[in-house]
Chain A
Amino acid sequence: MKKILFSLVLLLSALFTSQFVAAAADLEINTPAISAIKNSMQARHGQLAAYYASGAIGLTNDGLIAVRDANAVPLKDRGGLNSAVAAENADRNKLYKEIATANGHPEWQAEIQSTFAGRWIDKAQAGWWVQGAGGWVKK
């Protein structure tokens, strides 16, 4: 009898926990590692903003950025452009991975990345280039 009662309590507590988990469904994004990546990306954005606006770079549909039209940048600045894009993509990949591991689910990285891909493009300013299904599109 006691055992049945115990298993009933177990069942009820399991149900409650599951509801709690569903209610408190916020992802952890306030870790030191995530903040550090965010700060680095924020600092770099000052440089990238001009490149977005000129169409030299665009937002890809996989949550990264890419050089779209290197001719929009003077020859002498192209090295800086390429290294900024590479550094930004490295940060972005680190960010997606870090969010997944901070929440105890490294296997979520790809889904987090595709979620970000849609949000970056949604929030991009008018005039920026974004990658759609059929190629580059100006917002």
Chain B
Amino acid sequence: MKNWMIGVTLACVLPACVTINIYFPAAAAEKAADKIIDDVWQLKNGGDKPNVNAVEPASTPAK
């Protein structure tokens, strides 16, 4: 009888664990994507100047 109850409990709990692990965390994936894209495209540098177009010659004296 008791073994039977444990069996039922496990049968309820184990699929729940599996479901949680298979679920794709869409919101977390978007957050991760944003972070990586910001880094690769240098959109936000944590307070640094945004050097999106940092190709300007800063110190080229006139020709």
Contacts and interface: CB of A to CB of B under 8 A. Distances in A.
Asked if A and B bind, the verdict is: yes
A87 B40 CA distance: 15
B21 to A, nearest CB: 8
Contacts of B32: 26-27, 29, 99
B34 A119 contact: yes
Interface in B8-63: 9-10, 12-13, 16-17, 20-21, 24-43, 52-53, 55
A6 B21 CA distance: 24
Contacts, number: 87
A127 B59 CA distance: 28
Instruction: Label chain A's interface by main secondary structure.
Output: helix
A118 B26 CA distance: 12
A4 interface: yes
B37 A123 contact: yes
B9 A108 contact: no
B40 A11 contact: no
A36 interface: no
B37 A18 contact: no
Which 8 pairs from chain A and chain B are nearest by CB? A119-B33, A27-B32, A115-B29, A7-B9, A25-B28, A41-B40, A25-B25, A14-B13
Interface of A: 3-4, 6-8, 10-11, 14, 17-18, 21-22, 25-27, 29, 34, 38, 41-42, 45-46, 49, 95, 99, 105, 108, 111-112, 115-116, 118-120, 123, 125
29 contacts: A3-B5, A4-B5, A7-B6, A7-B10, A14-B16, A18-B16, A18-B20, A25-B25, A26-B28, A29-B32, A29-B35, A38-B40, A42-B39, A46-B55, A49-B53, A49-B55, A105-B24, A108-B24, A111-B24, A112-B33, A115-B30, A115-B33, A119-B34, A120-B33, A120-B37, A123-B37, A123-B41, A123-B43, A125-B52
